[in-house]
Structure 1
Amino acid sequence: MQEQFIKYLKEKAQDNTSFVDEIAGILDIGYDAAYRRINLKTNLSLEESVVLARHYKISLNKLFEIGNQNTIIAELPPEPKNEIALEHWLKVSLQNVQTISKVKSAEIFYSAKDIPVFHTLSDSFLTRYKMYVWLKDLNIDMAKSQISFDEWMKTIPDSLLQSAFALGNIYKNINITELWNDNTVTGTLQQILYYFEAGLVSKDVALKICEDVHNVISETEKQTIEQSIGPANNQRFFHLYKCDLHMLTNTIMVRTPHKKVFYSPFTVLSYFKIEHKDTCEMMNDFLNKQMSNSKLLATAGERDRTLFFKTVHQKISIAQERINMDHKMTFL
C-alpha cells in the first residue's frame, strides 16, 4: 500500500522541487529520513500518512482505497429521524447540489425507480405528504402514533418547508438526465392509498395530493418537450428517457469533466456516497448502457411521448377512483 501511496503523491507533487525535499519539508524530517520512506526502507506512520494526505488534499477514503481493488469506502449522509434532522438533511443536500450547480458542465444522472425527490419539492400537498411518509418510516415515535397527515400538516415548521423548496429550486440550475419507466409513479401512489385506507389521510386531502402528482407529471412532460427545467432562458438541459429493459434503482450519478461520484440508496432517505474511481466508472458504464437501451422522449416522436405520459396520468386517475369509492366490498 505504501508503494502505491507514494506513487500517487508523486503525481500530485510540485514539478519545480525535489520530491524528497518536498516530503522532508511537509513531515519536518531530514532528507535521509524522507528518502528512506519514499524508497520503502522505512514505513510511514499513520500520523505521517494523515499529514501527507491533508497536504496533498487526498481524502482518507482515497488513502485507504489505494492498493486494495476489492475494498471501497462509502460516506453516509445525516440520518433524518425527526423534523430537525430532516431539515438538516435537506440543507446538507442543498449545499451538495449548490456545489454541483457552480460547475457549468456538471450533470446529474438519475435512475428513477420513484419520482425524483427534486420534482416533488414545491409548495404543495405532495411535498408535505412526502415529509409525513418519510418521518413515518424513519421516526419510531411517529410510526407508533396515530397522528393523521391532516393534523401533522398544520404543525410543519416553516423553516422545514423553506429548506425543501430551496432544494427543489436549485435542481433547475443543473444539467439533468433522468431515466423513467411506466412504474416510476407507482411508489408515490401506493403511499397515498396506503395511508388513506389506514384512515390517516382524509379523502379530500388524498385527492388533492393526487392532483399534485398529476401536476408534477404535466410539468415534467412540458420540461421533456422543451428539454429544459426552469425559465425559458435557462441554459441547462433536461433529458428524460423511457427505460423498458432494466430495473431502475433511484441511483444518482454526478458527472463533471474531472470526477464522477454516485449515490446508492439503501433506506428511505439514506444512501451510500461512492467516490472510488473504478467503481464510479463501472456505474457510469452501466447507466450509459441503460440509456442506450432507452428512448429519449423529446425525440422519440409525439406518439410515444404522449402515450407514455397518458399511461402515467391514467395510473394516477385509477388511484383517484379508488379513493372516491363510496363503499368497499364486504363478505357475508
Structure 2
Amino acid sequence: MTILGLCNKDDVVFSVPNMVEPVRTIENYLNRLQATFLNLEHYHDVKIYYASRELPVFYYFLDQRLANFKMYIFARNIWKLPKFIDQKYSPDCFSEHLYQRMHCIWQKYASLNSYEYWNSNILDNTLQQILFYSECGELDSLNANSILDGMENVLQQIRIMAVNCSKKDLSDNFYLFENKILHTSNHVLVKSKEKNIIYITFDNPNFIYTDNQNFIEYSENWYSTIREISYALGAGSGHNTLSFFNYLVSKIDMVRKRISYNGNTHPPLGNK
C-alpha cells in the first residue's frame, strides 16, 4: 500500500506491503523477500548499505536451528499465525524445504555488495527471546542450547566473511563495521545505476520502503556520518574483529549459564 495525498516538501511517501497483503504463512514472508531480490536482478552495480541494531534477518538463514527459531518468534508474535499461537517451540514444526528456501534467499543476499554497520547489541533481542521462552516453559533446554549453538555457528561464519571481506566465493563484497556510538533502527539503503530505494523495518521483520529522492539523499548523508564514527571489522583490523566477536560469544555463554540455573536468580545481561 502506498500512502498518498502528501504535498509538502518534507513529506515522504512510503509503500507498506503488509497493509495490503498481511503475512498469512511463513512462505508468504519468504515470497516477499524473494520478490525483492528478483527485482534487484534488473539493476546494475547494486550496493547495499545496512545499519542495524540487531542481526540482519538474512544471517539467521545461515543456520537451520537459528532460522527456525526466528521464524517461530515472528510467526507467533508478529504475524500471529494460528498454528503457532499456543505452540511450544519444536524444530519439527519446520520442514527441510522451508529452510532450503531461506538458504536460497541467503545466497541471493550473499551475492550482493554490502556495507554493514552493527553494534555489540545485535544479538540481545534474540537472546532475550530464548531466555523468555525457556523460562516460561515454551522452549526446552535441549532446543535452547541447540539454538545457541546455531548462533555461535553463524557468528563463526560471519567472522570468516568479515576477515575475507566476502560473503560468497571470495568476491570482495562484504564490508562490516562496528558502530559504537549511534545505535540506530534497522534500515537498508539499496543503490544502483537505475534506482535507489531505502527499506526500513517496521513491525520487524516487516518493512516499508520508498524511492523518494530527497529522503535518499538525506539517508546517504546519514550513512556518511555513521561511516566516519565506525570501526572496520575485517582485513587489517584483527584486534577490533577479535574483540567484537569474542564479546558476542560471551553473551551467548552468559545465556547458557542462565538457562542452566533452572529458575534461580539470574545475573543481568551485560553491556559492553
Please indicate the TM-score interval, normalised by the length of the shorter structure. 0.7 to 0.9
Aligned to 2:104: 166
1:100 matches 2:40:
yes
Aligned to 2:24: 82
1:137 matches 2:77:
yes
1:127 matches 2:67:
yes
* TM-score normalised per structure 2: 0.88
User: Shift of residue 123 of structure 1?
Assistant: 4.9
Contact kept? 1:250, 1:265, Cα under 8 Å: yes
Distance 1:90 1:195, change over 3 A: same
Partner AA of 2:125 in structure 1: G
Identity %: 21
Name the CA distance, whole Å, in 1 between partners of 2:67 and 2:218: 34
Aligned to 2:269: none
1:178 matches 2:116:
yes
User: Shift of residue 167 of structure 1?
Assistant: 1.1
State the secondary structure of the residue aligned to 1:179.
strand
Aligned to 2:270: none
1:196 matches 2:134:
yes
Name the CA distance, whole Å, in 2 between partners of 1:147 and 1:189: 20
Contact kept? 1:245, 1:293, Cα under 8 Å: yes
Aligned to 2:213: 277
Name the CA distance, whole Å, in 1 between partners of 2:8 and 2:219: 19
Name the CA distance, whole Å, in 1 between partners of 2:84 and 2:158: 36
Q: How many residues align?
A: 264
Partner AA of 1:170 in structure 2: K
Distance 1:310 1:158, change over 3 A: closer
Contact kept? 2:162, 2:235, Cα under 8 Å: no
| Greater Cα radius of gyration, structure 1 or 2 | 1
Match for 2:177 among 241, 258, 261?
A: 241
Q: Deviations over 1:17-64 (max 9, x none)?
A: xxxxxxxxxxxxxxxxxxxxxxxxxxxxxxxxxxxxxxxxxxx97x97
Distance 1:159 1:301, change over 3 A: closer
Name the CA distance, whole Å, in 2 between partners of 1:172 and 1:134: 23
Q: Deviations over 1:117-173 (max 9, x none)?
A: 1111145111110110001112446498431112xx323355533332221121111
**Larger RCO: 1 or 2 (CA < 8 Å, sep 6+):** 2
Structure 1 spans left out of the alignment, 5+ residues:
1-59
Match for 1:293 among 213, 226, 229?
A: 229
User: Shift of residue 208 of structure 1?
Assistant: 0.6
User: Shift of residue 302 of structure 1?
Assistant: 1.4
State the secondary structure of the residue aligned to 2:197.
strand
State the secondary structure of the residue aligned to 1:149.
coil
Match for 1:218 among 156, 170, 184?
A: 156
Aligned alpha-carbon RMSD (Å):
2.6
Partner AA of 1:188 in structure 2: T
Name the CA distance, whole Å, in 2 between partners of 1:135 and 1:80: 12
Aligned to 1:48: none
Aligned to 1:187: 125
Aligned to 1:322: 258
Structure 1 consecutive aligned stretches of length 4 or more whose deviation exceeds 6 Å: none
Name the CA distance, whole Å, in 2 between partners of 1:129 and 1:196: 12
Name the CA distance, whole Å, in 1 between partners of 2:237 and 2:97: 43
Name the CA distance, whole Å, in 1 between partners of 2:247 and 2:83: 33
Partner AA of 2:56 in structure 1: P
Partner AA of 1:202 in structure 2: D
Contact kept? 1:77, 1:89, Cα under 8 Å: no
Contact kept? 2:63, 2:153, Cα under 8 Å: no
User: Shift of residue 87 of structure 1?
Assistant: 1.0
Query: Per residue, is there more helix in 1 or in 2?
Result: 1
Q: Deviations over 1:206-245 (max 9, x none)?
A: 001001111111111100010001223xx35100000011
Partner AA of 2:157 in structure 1: E
Structure 2 spans left out of the alignment, 5+ residues:
267-272
Name the CA distance, whole Å, in 1 between partners of 2:242 and 2:162: 11
